[in-house]
Amino acid sequence: MLQESNRVEFKSVLNDKLEKEIVAFLNNHEGGTLYIGVDNEGHPVETIDLDSIQLKIADRIKNNILPSPLGLFDIITENIDNVFVTKIIISSGSEKPYYIKSKGMSPAGCYMRLGTSTQPMPTALIDELYAKRIHKTLRNIPAPRQDLTFAQLKIYYQERGLELNNNFANSLELLTSEGTYNYVAYLLADENGVSIKVAKYAGIDKVDLIENEEYGYCSLIKAMNNVLEKMKIENVTKAKVTSSSRIEKNLIEPVPLREALINAVVHNDFSREIPPVFEIFSNRVEISSYGGLIQGQSIKDFFSCSSMPRNRELMRVFKDVGLVEQLGSGMSRILKFYDKNIFEISEHYIKVIFPFSLMGKMMSGDINGDINGDINGDINNNEKKILYLLKNKPNITAKEMSEETGFSTRTISRIIKRLRDNGIIIRKGSNKNGYWEISDKISNI
């Protein structure tokens, strides 16, 4: 059952406290989720005319809160115990403090989360947050040129059944306070000077460059789609037919790869005019975006699967055209398949390193010759595959080995037992927290 926390709040009905709760989550360093149609005990409450209520919610959030929260919230319908309720996902904003427009930047208008409750923000904290507010957002940076056109952007909106009217530049926040095109507009325009590089190398280092593609000088949406297509082609599917089944495996899990590519673009710090870079090696893909962690964001926040967009205007457009499905969902989709250690976070960069699937390597034939020195020639191919996995990931589980090889867990257990009984592998530590060590009877693994 759902429970209230510092990141979750329930309201059985839509009332006049909506803005107060949204402001508190915008000011919370992890954002939060507000359910409308759920009582204090976490039980769903039947709601009449859900669509109308959700339209009212979106209108109140957009018009009653400052700074603009556009791109920082998502309103969806969720089924709880066969009852449909409204779920509002709120990202942590980078322009704190957020406040209720009619109340002003004061304790009467600024709110924060304390445990499971929402409280007025003290004046001292309001002043402190305002002093740290990042004013140099893309929205406030003038575009390098003003003769911008947006035919490509309009096409992407039309494909989603949306129309951009004559006021679209204002509604998408593509204008500075002076009414000129800003840097967001520049990135989304048909022509610009921004390019995303995709480099491909023959080996595991940058010595032998075999391909260097530029995707850009056009709308960032078009460039993003072109990059996704390119990486989809590079992420080849390997197939292996066994006596009982056909096993298919990409070099990298497709969903996490797509999410990491989009995150690198939408969260990149374009204010320094440094675009993200994607690099393909013989054993991995590296995705680098400029900017490091957002000010006020910790590593714990980064991995908490809550969203804190660096460029909320871009995030909003990416969501409109279907590149982003739901706020805060990207990280959870990556961590579902990969450990946190694929991320390298520095002061200026965030890098994601996806190693190629071991099974993909095996089906490519890369395992041939990796394991020799067979004991009396008695190690068969299936056992070689398991040894290869244990060499590259000593703490791998039977379930993970099954996923990598296509063998049943029962077959995995049988192979492990034989290797262990013959002294080829040795278990170090406990069954739960230990790891496998390969005996020196096997050379050159």
The tens digit of pLDDT for each residue in 185-217 reads 999 999 999 999 999 999 888 989 999 999 989
User: Is 134's pLDDT higher than 80?
Assistant: no
What are 293-308's pLDDT values in tens digits?
887 778 888 887 666 7
Length of the chain: 445
- Domain shared by 239 and 340, yes or no: yes
**230 in any annotated domain:** yes
- Stretch 45-64: mean pLDDT: 93
The residue ranking higher by pLDDT, 31 or 389, is: 31
Report pLDDT for 264. 95
Residue 444 domain flag? no
Q: Which residue has the higher pLDDT, 330 or 77?
A: 77
Question: How would residue 54 be classed by pLDDT, with cut points 50, 70 and 90?
Answer: very high
CATH assignment of the domain containing 204? 3.30.565.60
Domain assignment of residue 152, yes or no: no
Identify the domain boundary among 329, 358, 387. 358
- Establish if 172 belongs to a structural domain: no
Higher pLDDT, 46 or 149: 149
User: Given this model, what pLDDT does residue 1 score?
Assistant: 67
Mean pLDDT lowest for which of 24-38, 157-171, 360-374? Answer: 360-374
140 occurs within a structural domain: no
- Does position 358 have pLDDT exceeding 70, yes or no? no
- Model confidence at 127: pLDDT above 60: yes
Asked if 352 and 396 sit in the same domain, the reply is no
| 167 in a structural domain | no
Above 80 in pLDDT, residue 411? yes
What integer is the mean pLDDT of 355-367? Answer: 57
Half-sphere exposure of 311 (CA within 13 A, CB side): 29
Mean pLDDT in residue range 279-299: 89
In this structure, are 282 and 217 located in the same domain?
Answer: yes
Residue 75 lies in a domain: yes
| pTM score | 0.65
- Per the structure, the count of domains in the chain is 3
pLDDT of residue 367: 44
Over 70: is that where the pLDDT of 378 sits? Answer: no
Give the number of other Cβ atoms within 10 Å of residue 272's Cβ: 10
Q: Which residue has the higher pLDDT, 59 or 440?
A: 59
The whole domain housing 419 covers 367-438
What pLDDT shows up at residue 294? 81
